[in-house]
A and B are shown apart, each in its own frame.
Chain A
Amino acid sequence: MPNVFRDIWAYRFFIVSSIKTEFRSRFARSSLGGVWMVLHPLAQVAIYALVLSAVLAAKLPGIDNQYAYAIYLMAGTLGWSLFAEVFGRSLGVFVDNGNLLKKMAFPKIALPLIVTGSALVNNLLLFGAVLVVFGILGHMPTLMLLWLPVLIAVTLALALGLGLALGIINVFMRDIGQIVPIILQFWFWLTPVVYVSSIIPEKYHHLIMLNPMSGIVMGYQNILVYGKSPDLHTLVYPVIIAAVALSLALFMYFRANEEMADAL
């Protein structure tokens, strides 16, 4: 077990340099460079806001701003996109780097960490952009922002745990890489990002809460939309799931580490 952490420490420079490389290459040849990373999720928000604001025209309870829905969407999107990016990319990270893994001896765990690191930087850029848009829309965030790192940590742990576990299985059963993106789309709609959980009938409410991302995304919305602290009650469950997923993933990593290069 301490081996993994020693490996990660020894390869810290490589991990950081790979994250930098990813960003450098994005900036290298497109004139807008990093702006694209932020534009994609914001465009998505704009589309949902345009299409759905008519449906969900009623003001959100507890907030007086005509752009309330757009603000709500952005808060949820910020949390969800971090989860989806880390999860989605960890899934394929071993398969995509198969050639490198077969030729060079280095700790494989570095690869999902690179993905996590670059997704985190992406997400922070998006966060900055969201704050700017909030300012333009006249919505001032509160000091409750200080809670955000906690939510980010839980999101990363959950996404990395699931992504690493399924990413390892994906090496041996490539169907996983095809199925998961579909599941991820369903999952998005089962998470109250686009809609407000209160529109779900009360008797199905507990089903929504079975989804660990619900608690997390609602935490984002509490902080960014309502200026409240996240409901720690709803966070206990995601934290447990994240811890279980992460331990399972590490366990599988130890077991599968030696066999992975054989199957790539």
Chain B
Amino acid sequence: MSLPVLEVTNIGKAYRNYGSELWRILSWFGLRFKPIHETWTLQNISFSIAAGEAIGVVGQNGAGKSTLLKIITGTLKPSTGSVTVRGKIAAILELGMGFHPDLTGRQNAYHSAGLMGYTSTQIDAVIDQIEAFAEVGEYFDQPMRTYSSGMQMRVAFATVTAYRPEILIVDEAMSVGDAYFQHKSFDRIRQFQTAGTTLLLVSHDRSAIQAICDRAILLEQGRILKDGEPEEVMDFYNALIADKENNKVEQIKLDNGKVQTISGTGEAKVEDIGLYNDKGEKVEFVGVGDPVELRVRIKVYQDIPELVLGFMIKDRLGQSVFGLTSKDYGIQHTKLISGEILNFVFKYDANFGVGSYSIATALALGNTHIEGNLEWKDLALVFNTVNIIKNQFVGSNWIEIEAHSGRYND
């Protein structure tokens, strides 16, 4: 086992207020003044990352994500602890930093690679590759002020990723340019990863984190709240951002090894949930395209003005496949009294691809769980789709298709 490429040991970051900046300046000369106020934005952060791992960093605004990244890249120094980096770091944080509008794309590529610490001979070796990757055509030798912002991003991304770094930090602004270039840049990130680059992805995008990362770290108020499986961490994070008052978050280890997250204020709870086939039998395996019924039984524990049930079907990676709320279908339950039981039935055809799926349920006062989260239950139900009668197909959806073809002689 090789040494981790990134080791963060017990770092903390304090912003010091000296009252008067004069005391700060005198403190450089050996006169020790106590700062009158210290604000800790990060505390006790420790983790290590192995080569080729992909880590997601999540957290609410102000949780300390940016500070942590700046400390890792080296623009900020930690007040306590240490960061050990084995290799070169490249950061796609602020693409196009240091670009100059009057320089051409080529000149800017040289300039910003210089800012990353490369010499002109090193840049000579990759400049053609940068030009080819950016695909801005003749514009590469035009002043950058004539570029669209998407084109600037292309050159910036091509330059930053011209060399494979040991650690690549990608901030949420990964929406680089148009869809075509997004795919292209994503492919490059994937290639780096296969070649052994460690990825550090900062995002609020659940699906991006779950699709790319094998681990996620949740920061909250400058501390690591959770470090583990992306799905588990994201479920926890999701629960955390829902209605903060009276919110309890609970995680239960299920038999299949997954972790179920339940959160909410608890005025109403899902008592039972099941998937039934057209014969009314409870099933765990569903044939592709079979008509099924999702039945949910809810018990009200305290009087509430309104109740909306939402559910989300997710694939095995936790990516959302389909979701809706009862309100979307015109079902409204208002003025609910403690002790009431509600039954919901959703009928649909299981037009999913073959695989394992889970259903998360949410009980809320309104259409989103942010407006009063009564209960949010991830992995409330797990089912599998199997292909029994349909044609062989690939993908996550079954679509009924009529196929025709003709053959003629001219």
Contact = CB atoms under 8 A, between A and B. Distances in A.
Interface of A: 10-14, 17-18, 21, 24-25, 28-29, 99-106, 169, 172-173, 251-252, 255-256, 258-259, 261-262
Interface in B86-110: 89, 93-94, 97-98, 100, 102-103, 107, 110
A12 B111 contact: no
B257 interface: no
Interface in B72-93: 73-77, 89, 93
Given A102-B75, A103-B93, A105-B74, A13 B103 contact: no
Nearest to B97: A103
Contacts of A256: 28
Given A24-B102, A24-B103, A103-B93, A14 B115 contact: yes
Given A101-B75, A102-B70, A256-B28, A173 B21 contact: yes
Given A28-B143, A104-B97, A259 B24 contact: yes
Contacts of B25: 169, 172-173
B117 A10 contact: yes
Contact of B24 (A13, A99, A172): A172
Nearest to A15: B114
Contact of A172 (B21, B70, B110): B21
B15 interface: yes
A99 B70 CA distance: 13
A164 to B, nearest CB: 14
Contacts of B15: 262
A256 B107 CA distance: 33
24 contacts: A13-B120, A14-B114, A17-B111, A17-B120, A21-B100, A21-B103, A21-B107, A24-B103, A24-B107, A25-B103, A100-B97, A101-B75, A102-B70, A103-B75, A103-B97, A104-B75, A104-B116, A105-B89, A172-B24, A173-B22, A255-B28, A261-B75, A262-B16, A262-B76
A210 B58 CA distance: 59
B118 interface: yes
B119 interface: yes
B117 A11 contact: yes
A103 B118 CA distance: 17
A18 B28 contact: no
Contact of B102 (A12, A28, A104): A28
A261 B76 contact: yes
Contacts of A13: 114, 118-120, 123
Contacts of B143: 28
A84 B57 CA distance: 47
Nearest to A22: B100
Interface residues of B, number: 34
A252 B26 CA distance: 10
Given A10-B117, A105-B74, 4 more contacts: A14-B117, A99-B97, A103-B93, A103-B94
Contacts of A105: 73-75, 89
Contacts of A104: 75, 97-98, 115-116
A94 to B, nearest CB: 13
Contacts of B110: 17
A76 to B, nearest CB: 34
Contacts of A21: 100, 103, 107, 111
B186 to A, nearest CB: 23
A239 to B, nearest CB: 24
A12 B107 contact: no
B384 to A, nearest CB: 47
A29 B24 contact: no
Contacts of A10: 117
Contacts of A99: 97
A12 B122 CA distance: 13
A208 to B, nearest CB: 30
A96 to B, nearest CB: 13
A120 B94 CA distance: 32
A169 B119 CA distance: 31
Give the most central of B114, B118, B143: most A CB within 10 Å. B114
Nearest to A262: B15
Nearest to B78: A258
A29 B100 CA distance: 13
Contacts of A106: 115-117
Contacts of A101: 75
Interface string B107-144: 10011001111111001000000000000000000010
Interface in B241-256: none
Interface in B175-223: none
Nearest to A169: B25
B97 A11 contact: no
Nearest to A256: B28
Contact of B100 (A25, A103, A169, A259): A25
Contacts of A28: 102, 143
A11 B75 contact: no
A210 to B, nearest CB: 24
Contacts of B28: 251-252, 255-256
A254 to B, nearest CB: 9
Nearest to B76: A261
A190 to B, nearest CB: 26
Contacts of B114: 11, 13-14, 17-18
B274 to A, nearest CB: 52
A14 B118 CA distance: 8
A114 B244 CA distance: 50
Interface in B25-79: 25, 28-29, 70, 73-77
Contacts of B120: 13, 17
Nearest to B122: A13
A213 B73 CA distance: 42
A102 B120 CA distance: 24
A117 to B, nearest CB: 14
A173 B23 CA distance: 11
B98 to A, nearest CB: 6
